[in-house]
Amino acid sequence: MRIATWNVNSIGARLPRVLEWLDTAQPDVVALQELKTTSEAFPHHEIEQLGYEVAAHGQGRWNGVALLSRVGLTDVVRDLPGQPDYEGLIEARAIGATCGGIRVWSVYVPNGREPDHHHYRYKLQWLDTLRDTVGTEQATSPELAYAVIGDFNVAPTDADVWDVNAFVGSTHITEAERARLNQLQQVGLVDIYPRSLKGEPYTFWDYRNGSFYKGFGMRIDLIMANEVFRQRIKDTYVDRDARKGKQPSDHAPVVVDLN
């Protein structure tokens, strides 16, 4: 089974590339983030024609998540239980489902903007709620392969950014954010690091200043999984080629192959 996560930075703008990638990479389960469309306007028909069931959750704002599966899609949950709001709105940032016997969550963690911004506090609260959700579900079904995958907007270590000095005073590398990732490990998840790499394991490169070609990237798209899931892994990799070419997303897909 092949499982992937990809922040597409607008499914409308990126649909031809997404359809081509699905046809070429042949993933069985795909978590998408930053749809920038509503659930109703999501291109269900085009993707279903490739053999996928679709569960989409979007509001037409700067968020939106989806799960695509050709191995089953059941027990769909939209939003984390008890998910905090931002300025009165529960944002479309999480969707979970069981796909081929694996429980998968697609998450788009809030950016945080700046450490002194109220969006940063919202980000930490959101990650706390994610931890609580994982802890509850893991305690209920510890025998089930389980993964939370998506754009976490946190680089786990200094080695996961091209130059940590360039991020001093910024989000994505603060102690509080990284502490939340560690809390996910405390409730049973581990960071599945890419094994097959060409260059650095970054998953995001800003559009500006030729960042992709200069190697100015970050690893913020993660696969956090339990031990049952980890034991089944054959390979993991970042598909850097999907970041190349005309009108790419600023993120690359992260792929994991399972026995």
pTM above the 0.75 mark? yes
So what's the pLDDT on residue 125?
98
* Superfamily classification of domain 2-258: Endonuclease/exonuclease/phosphatase (3.60.10.10)
Tell me the domain boundaries of the chain: 2-258
Q: Which pair of structure tokens corresponds to residue 101?
A: 């016997």
**For 124-143, b where at least 16 C-beta lie within 10 A, e where not — what string?**
bbbbebbbebbbebbeeeee
**Percent of the chain having pLDDT more than 90?**
95
61, 110 Cβ separation under 8 angstroms: no
So what's the pLDDT on residue 196?
75
| β-bridge partners, 97 | 104
The confidence band for 37, taking pLDDT boundaries of 50, 70 and 90, is: very high
What is the tens place of the pLDDT at every residue in 114-132?
A: 999 999 999 999 999 999 9
What is the tens place of the pLDDT at every residue in 161-192?
A: 999 999 999 999 999 999 999 999 999 999 99
| C-alpha closest to that of 111 among 61, 165, 182, 68 | 61
- Between the alpha carbon of residue 143 and those of residues 46, 138, 154, 228, the distances in Å are 35, 8, 28, 7
Residue 83: exposure state from Cβ atoms within 10 A (0-12, 13-18, ≥19): middle
